[in-house]
Amino acid sequence: MKKFGLLGEHLGHSFSKGIHEHYFEKEKIDGNYTLIEKNINEIESLMTELREKKYACINVTIPYKVEVMKYLDDISDESIKIGAVNTILSKDGKITELEELGELKDARISELEELIELKDKEHLYTLSDSLRNGSSHAGSELN
């Protein structure tokens, strides 16, 4: 079973576990999604766990979108410009980011719309991109 998770400080309000577990079930993925609540001084040990492949992939939320960047072995120019990352994984012994492609984002939004019956797609784009610490960049993505 692959282990996935969401890294954050306080995650009691998050819908991520339910959304991802629904997706795993729907797509018949043998996976588990965990809410990983950590203090800032616990991030380094979590990055060691990721490097050791104890997690397949970790989504990152505020306040750690910037903090985890210093542990990445490889990072895109876009994320450097924005100053934040969304998703990290271990690949070939290195911690890197999962770059989100437009088509992948559209696919995720379709699934989210189905799950939460969202009527206004633009609000989801705005929320998703704004949380990346790049709201000015996100605005240009909407046009």
The residues carrying an active-site annotation are 65
Measure the CA dihedral 65/71/73/79, to 10°.
20
Residues 6+ apart with CB under 8 A from 108: none
- Round to whole Å and give the CA distance between 113 and 96: 29
Question: Of all helices (H) and strands (E), which one includes residue 81?
Answer: helix 77-82
The answer to whether 40 and 67 are in contact (CB under 8 A) is: yes
The span from the CA of 95 to the CA of 25, in Å, is 27
